[in-house]
Amino acid sequence: MAEKYYLKTYGCQMNELDGSQMGRLLARQGYAPTDDPEEASVILINTCSIREKASQKVYSDVGRFRSLKLKNPDLVLGVTGCQAQAEGVRLQKRFPYLDLVLGPDHTGRLPELVERVRREGGQHLAAVKLEKREEYRFLNLLPDEEEDAHKAFVTIMKGCDNFCSFCIVPFVRGREVCRDADEIVAEVRELSERGTQEVTLLGQNVNSYGVGRHARDPNALSFPRLLRRLAEETGIRRIRFTTSHPKDLSDELIEEFRVNAKLASHFHLPVQSGSNAVLERMYRGYTRDEYAAKARRLREARPDIALGTDLIVGFCGETEEEFQASMDLLEELRYDSVYSFVYSERPKTTAGLYFKDDVPEAVKHERLQRLQALQNRIGWEKNRSYEGKDLEVLVEGPSRSGDTYAGRSSQNHVVHFEGTDADVGKIVKVRVTHAGPNSLIGAKHD
């Protein structure tokens, strides 16, 4: 009987893809996945360190698995992902029974290190950041048969060079390395030949793909040019990407939304704050007006585009007036979706080292509530504007309620409708009949 692995992933889509890749690597070694850690001979906690709360989860999880390790000393217990990178040796000291600590740049070495733990015992660490193109290997493991392959994540670059003052990502994911364009096109072509309808291209800042210092890479290609190649040279039906930094959002990319029909009508453009003073303290590199102008040009280039963003409230020194500037920006741009968080101080970051986290927690949470209440109203009004409209929905499967089917529109809405198993994995036309606060309901029609 195949040995089993238990893998728990926290955090962003990049971490989710790393988690899937680790699962595929172990599957190629003959391991089978399990949702029950008691059954596993390999347990991996794939961690996130974007906020304090997320990073704390690793301690409780590793502590939780101590009893399993005592019961079965042959169990391989490992921590991977950004918190593994951030803490490395400290985690090993804190948890002497932890066998493996693996940073994101070493995901590909998982099988080798699991075998080494088995053979040699002791603790093993792989967390040196690989920041040169020639030393970093992008994993190109296609989804396994049992994975739903009608949509897939594809990494195009790793790391980030921006050092926004609040963000730990550059310290745990390292400098930007861009993946070879031919490799990306080949992977997407193979995915589409296997029936994948939609790909989401992943990077911390996809807009800097192939430009700046990356323009010197062999075979370098700007991001809009890469999108054009994917549309022209592969059979993929729909292309999404995340995440974009507004300062690197080029006119060329905006123009691509006018002419490249395979680009989904959705753009996630994190603004973080509506106040110029706060944007300056965040080292974001753009002003509110520059950002809003780009958002308006995107809507002009693709009128049915849905805009999403990220917002932080309660950043160091944020006054009520500066917070109000974020509220006003929501009213002005009327986003379709907003991910909003209270500021969480992170180690090693400029803000964590030099700025005072001086907005009281109660004030942060009160502002977050006000902001989310406003966005919930705007989001629902935006959803209602789709009633009576036709949307192209990539069907993912039965809804959680089980009485309908669900999928994502090009605008990234969740859409429920009466369907059949035959619809799964297809892009179908749905006329919206009713808009809810977080999803749409409609009827399929040809």
The gap from C-alpha 111 to its chain's centroid, in whole angstroms, comes to 24
Q: What angle do CA 408, 411, 416 make, to 5 degrees?
A: 35
Pick 51 or 334: Cβ nearer ligand SF4: 51
Q: How far is the CB of 339 from ligand SF4 (least distance, A)?
A: 12
Give dist(CA 58, CA 56) in Å, integer: 5
Tokens of 161: 């060079």
Can residue 160 be called a binding residue for ligand SF4 (CB under 6 A)?
yes
Burial (CB < 10 A; 0-12, 13-18, 19+), residue 149, is: middle
The upper half-sphere exposure of residue 235, i.e. CA atoms within 13 Å in the direction of its Cβ, equals 9
Going by the DSSP 8-state scheme, the letter that residue 418 receives in this structure is: -
Can residue 162 be called a binding residue for ligand SF4 (CB under 6 A)?
yes
- Give backbone dihedrals phi and psi of 240, rounded to 5 degrees, phi first: -120, 165
From 26, 130, 169, 202, residue interacting with ligand SF4 (rule: CB under 6 A): 169
Give dist(CA 159, CA 176) in Å, integer: 4
Token pair 């927690």 is at which residue? 361
From 39, 94, 163, 418, residue interacting with ligand SF4 (rule: CB under 6 A): 163
Q: How far is the CB of 205 from ligand SF4 (least distance, A)?
A: 5
Site for ligand SF4 in 103-142 (CB under 6 A): none
Pick 84 or 415: Cβ nearer ligand SF4: 84
From 9, 107, 204, 265, residue interacting with ligand SF4 (rule: CB under 6 A): 204
- Give backbone dihedrals phi and psi of 438, rounded to 5 degrees, phi first: -120, 0
Q: How far is the CB of 160 from ligand SF4 (least distance, A)?
A: 3
Total binding residues for ligand SF4 by CB under 6 A? 10
Sole window of 63-71, 160-168, 180-188, 332-340 interacting with ligand SF4 (rule: CB under 6 A): 160-168
From 167, 249, 368, 393, residue interacting with ligand SF4 (rule: CB under 6 A): 167
Q: How far is the CB of 49 from ligand SF4 (least distance, A)?
A: 12
Pick 130 or 202: Cβ nearer ligand SF4: 202
* Among 79, 245, 82, CA closest to 174: 82
Q: How far is the CB of 104 from ligand SF4 (least distance, A)?
A: 13
Sole window of 159-167, 251-259, 315-323, 331-339 interacting with ligand SF4 (rule: CB under 6 A): 159-167
In Å, how far are 24, 73, 95, 153, 285 from 77, measured between CA atoms? 18, 10, 10, 27, 42
From 69, 228, 237, 245, residue interacting with ligand SF4 (rule: CB under 6 A): 245
Number of Cβ within 10 Å of residue 79's Cβ equals 26
Pick 192 or 272: Cβ nearer ligand SF4: 272
Sole window of 34-42, 76-84, 165-173, 397-405 interacting with ligand SF4 (rule: CB under 6 A): 165-173
Can residue 164 be called a binding residue for ligand SF4 (CB under 6 A)?
yes
Can residue 170 be called a binding residue for ligand SF4 (CB under 6 A)?
yes
Phi/psi class of residue 328: alpha, beta or left (left: φ > 0; alpha: ψ in -120 to 50)? Answer: alpha
Give dist(CA 69, CA 397) in Å, integer: 37
Can residue 205 be called a binding residue for ligand SF4 (CB under 6 A)?
yes
Q: Give the residues lining the site for ligand SF4 (CB under 6 A).
A: 160, 162-164, 167, 169-170, 204-205, 245
